[in-house]
Amino acid sequence: MNDVELAAELGFRSEHADVNGTRLHYVIGGDGEPLVLLPGWPQTWWSYHKVMPKLAERHRVVAVDLRGMGGSAKPADGYDKKTMAADIGELVRHLGHDRVDVAGHDIGSMVAFSLAANHPDTVRKIAMLDVPHPSDSFHELRVLGPGTLWWFAFNQLDTLPAQLLEGRARYLVDHMIDRIAVRRDAITDRDRAIYAAAYDTADAIRAGNRWYQAFERDIEDLRGYEKVTTPVLGLLAPWVREPVEAAITEAATDVRIREIPDSGHYLAEERPDAVVEELTRFFG
């Protein structure tokens, strides 16, 4: 199924907007205060499909494919989180909003934080799901052992990922989900096929690589930011709580941390009811 059909299945619309020199795909629906949802790698806006209908009872929900993701354009550059945050800021204005709430997961969490750091007047509150903004702590990530985040290094490579994965992205999607999800069955064969289709081309693989290749730039940008004063909710899986909580609280002044038990990395799919409850309580 394509994005138009998937969005309609949820009672949403699939749209595009030309912003900040690129073209973003987003899915929109619901009524109320605007809430922007930003996904991560290797997924698309569909990673929020379980929480979107419930959130849309209180919010105008906008689930966005980031620059380089899914139905959005895949330009040669602009994958630092500051530029990607500017994409979202312009999309917010394109949609006629002055201020929005934002929830981001994985790469989307990094972009949400950068939006609050660089465009504080655009953001009322942000929720960061399971991942902090890149910081100097990323230089200390493990290379050896069962806890290694091997894909951080893999995605730094220029051509090899596309050579290995073009037409074979399903192997990557299955590996990632089976490795860092707790409730693996919560992400179905159909969900996995949707993600694999979005990352099966060389251009899509290279775009995803560039989010990681920009980490050094992101780290340098963070060094120049003042502490973010926007209220921040950290929704964290138990296995990452300690380091991610430390990173978020170091970078922001008004932080609430909530652990989502019995979940791995994919919070909105593994524990959608808990995520909806926490986001509703936080955003109001």
For 241, list phi and psi in degrees, rounded to 5: -55, -50
- How far, in Å, CA of 265 to CA of 168, rounded? 22
- 65 carries an active-site annotation: no
Q: Which two tokens stand for residue 133?
A: 């903004």
Q: Fill in the amino acid letter for 180.
A: I
Active site residue 94: no
106 is catalytic: yes
Residue tagged active-site, from 106, 130, 191, 218: 106
Given 59, 105, 133, 265, the catalytic residue: 265
Q: Is there a contact between 219 and 136 (Cβ–Cβ < 8 Å)?
A: yes
Structure-token pair, residue 23: 């073209």
47/270 Cα distance (integer angstroms):
10
Indicate which residue of 59, 212, 218, 221 is catalytic: 212
- Please give the Cα distance from 206 to 66 (Å, whole number): 14
**Secondary structure, 3-state, 235-265:** EECHHHHHHHHHHHHHHECCEEEEECCCCCC
Residue tagged 């893999």 (tokens): 154
C-alpha separations of 31 from 10, 27, 100, 121, 235 in Å: 14, 14, 13, 22, 24
Active site residues: 106, 212, 265
